Amino acid sequence: MSNSLLLKPKIDVVFHALFREENKRLTETFISDILGRKIKIKTTDLDRHLNIKDTDQKLGIMDLRTELEDGTKCNIEIQLKAHEAEIERFLYYWADTYSRQLERGELYKELNKTISIIILDHEIEALKGIEDLDVKWHVRENKYEHRALTDHLEMCIIELPKAKRLYSKLHQDKICQWMMFLDDPNQKEVSKIMEENNGIKEAVTELKQVSNDERLRRITQLKEKKIRDDQAALDYALNHGYKGGFEKGLKDGREEGRKEGIKEGIKEGIEQGLEKGLKQGVEKGSRGEKIRIAQNMLKENMEIFLIQKITGLTLEELEKIKNH
């Protein structure tokens, strides 16, 4: 990465360096544009930015927590790669922020509204067909959709790929503009956006200073390398594990069943993703083959929940393999 290039704010450590406590006004502008209403920040969590020593920590887990002047808690999270059970993860992190407001013995009425702003570097099935970015999720009654049980839960999920697509039609949309900036501030479109969006102009000015930090630049390079390595590891596991699982099954003499497994695995791979196709293939293989695939995936530092999903092995079995 050339030093003349600005660091990408979608990398979590860069995001935290940019929207730190000292840049409260910039953070206020960002959140206000995302929520579509003016907000004021009271405090920002200082313990969650620029504390990464290496790249072994999970990517996209770092979040930015703020408290607004009206007591509302706002949590901003960026996820650079897809995870299993993502909606459940979103709810879990929202619940964590919500529950942290109370100490043991305090009254529930002291709880304040909690907003999660989740920015994804991929698209998810739950938002398929929704071509708006300012969607806010709440708890509502099934028949009376206009009736909300409470306003304490609010969740905004923004997919970067979708925002970039929509920008071609919605140049003036502030959410689109911010997502273009977060994705890659070096593209020409961001220079055009700066001419009409003072918030992003301020963000670019600050990012130039942030990008001169050699330590941060090095950490960012390692982060980006790990993202590429993780994707390569997944591709390797899908290609080699999928093939190996069936080859072992064929050697066991159940040729007809394996052919059907290949057929079904490919069909599932096309319809529901290669990950599920691999799982179908592994299920047809022997236990020894599953262990071999798990060992290879562990060597590539893939996340254990993904290995469990693909191989069908239990967490206890995977821990034994890992520690062997």
Per residue in 84-118, pLDDT (tens digit) is 789 999 999 999 999 989 987 788 999 999 999 99
Per residue in 85-94, pLDDT (tens digit) is 899 999 999 9
Mean pLDDT over 132-154 rounds to 93
Residue 7 near residue 214, CB atoms below 8 Å: no
With a threshold of 0.75, does the pTM exceed it? no
Indicate whether 172 pLDDT > 70.
Answer: yes
Per residue in 277-324, pLDDT (tens digit) is 455 555 555 677 778 888 877 877 777 767 777 777 888 888 888 877
Place of tokens 């979708």: 162
Question: How far separated are the first and last CA of the chain, in Å rounded?
Answer: 38
pLDDT at position 253 = 47
Domain coordinates of the chain in residue numbers?
Answer: 12-212, 221-323
Indicate whether 212 pLDDT > 50.
Answer: yes
Between the alpha carbon of residue 40 and those of residues 20, 33, 69, 278, the distances in Å are: 15, 12, 6, 48
Residue 183 near residue 164, CB atoms below 8 Å: yes
pLDDT at position 261 = 52
In sequence order, what DSSP letters do the residues of 233-272 get, joined into one string? HHHHIIIIIHHHHHHHHHHTT-HHHHHHHHHHHHHHHHHH
pLDDT, the chain, mean: 81
The more confident residue out of 247 and 157 is: 157
Indicate whether 171 pLDDT > 70.
Answer: yes
